[in-house]
Amino acid sequence: MDLAAQDDRIYLLVGDLGFGVVEPFMQKFPDRFLNAGVAEQNMTGVAAGIALTGKIVFTYSIANFPILRCLEQIRNDVCYHKANVKIVSIGGGFSYGALGMSHHATEDLAILRALPEMTVIAPGDPFEAQAATRAAAEHDGPCYLRLGRAGEPLVHASKVSFRIGKAIRVREGDALTLISTGAMLRTAVDVADALTARAIPARVLSMHTLKPLDTDAILAAAQETRAIVTIEEHSIAGGLGGAVAECLAESRERVPFKRLGIPASFSAPPGTQEYLRDLCGLSPNSILRSLEPLLETVHASS
């Protein structure tokens, strides 16, 4: 709303979702709002067309609907034409866990990261989300903005300095580095605090942008700490862990490395986000247990 009040190029298109949230925009900017109905392919094609007239268009829906349902339109209409479309998906990971696998957004980062011209952003807390929204609006070209559901905890104490493609160092440490993306930031900080209490100082990086990836921050972590761990509420295949692994494999840095995420399979039982995270080993206690073998390596190399 603030951005649209300042810039009349900003439009909002929704896929018949978000009511209780989007009405203020609709009422204040009726000529720049469109409910496309349950027709996300059309929503995306219309967004691309509007963007190609010089506008900045946000599309909005939950989980996989604004991305996977209309992937061809994103690829052919938005990315191929470098259209100024900002795709906002709420419900990243297991945010809508109780609604089952159709609402589990667990492959989105890998798929969107593979599209040419697409910028992929998954902020770690509400401060990052606010900054990421402004950064996406200012960025010239397609963006994917992956959000939680609402109510995510604040991790930063105040507004952050946010740059697309530049990780935020949240905790300092030289024993190992925890790299998280999206709403796993709070968990990463809790794990780091538990490790630091055991005299294992852990660095935490909020890798809010998966594409372009902050390779400098990753390589610095490989040089300055004795192990790297990635934490993501996303399939272990192709997301943050895969991106960091690619960076490390193509560098000269050799450092113990571990990926933590969701198994590359469908989550069978529906349940709360916390329940499903725990089932996948993504609770703080589960992560700490899984890190024990790696910590032995860290101690041996100190």
Separation of alpha carbons 89 and 61, rounded Å:
6
For the sheet with 228-235, list strands across it.
168-171, 202-206, 176-180, 228-235, 257-262
Q: Residue 295 has what pLDDT? A: 92
> What confidence tens digit (pLDDT) does each residue in 192-246 have?
999 999 999 999 999 999 999 999 999 999 999 999 999 999 999 999 999 999 9
Residue 58 CA, distance from chain mean position: 17
**For position 77, what pLDDT does the model report?**
98
pLDDT at position 302: 65
Q: Tell me the DSSP string of 212-264.
A: S--HHHHHHHHHHSS-EEEEEEEETTTSHHHHHHHHHHTSS----EEEEEE-S
Give the per-residue pLDDT at 20.
86
Output the average pLDDT for the chain: 95
- Break the chain into its structural domains and give their ranges: 2-146, 168-301
**Spatial distance between the Cα atoms of 263 and 13, rounded to a whole number of angstroms:** 33
Please list the ranges in the chain whose pLDDT falls under 70: 268, 302
- 43 Cβ neighbours under 8 A, 6+ residues apart: 13, 14, 15, 34, 36, 59, 61, 66, 70
Q: What angle (nearest 5°) sits at the alpha carbon of residue 93, between those of residues 87 and 95? A: 95
d(CA 93, CA 104): 6
- Do domains 2-146 and 168-301 share one topology? The answer is yes
- Give catalytic residues, as residue numbers: 40
Between 3.90.79.10, 3.40.50.300, 3.30.428.10, 3.40.50.970, what CATH number should domain 2-146 receive?
A: 3.40.50.970
CATH of 168-301, one of 3.90.79.10, 1.20.120.80, 3.40.50.920, 1.10.3470.10: 3.40.50.920
Q: Are 202 and 190 in contact (CB under 8 A)?
A: no
**222 phi/psi in degrees, rounded to 5:** -65, -35
Both tokens of 144, joined, read: 């994917």
Residue with tokens 């032995």: 296
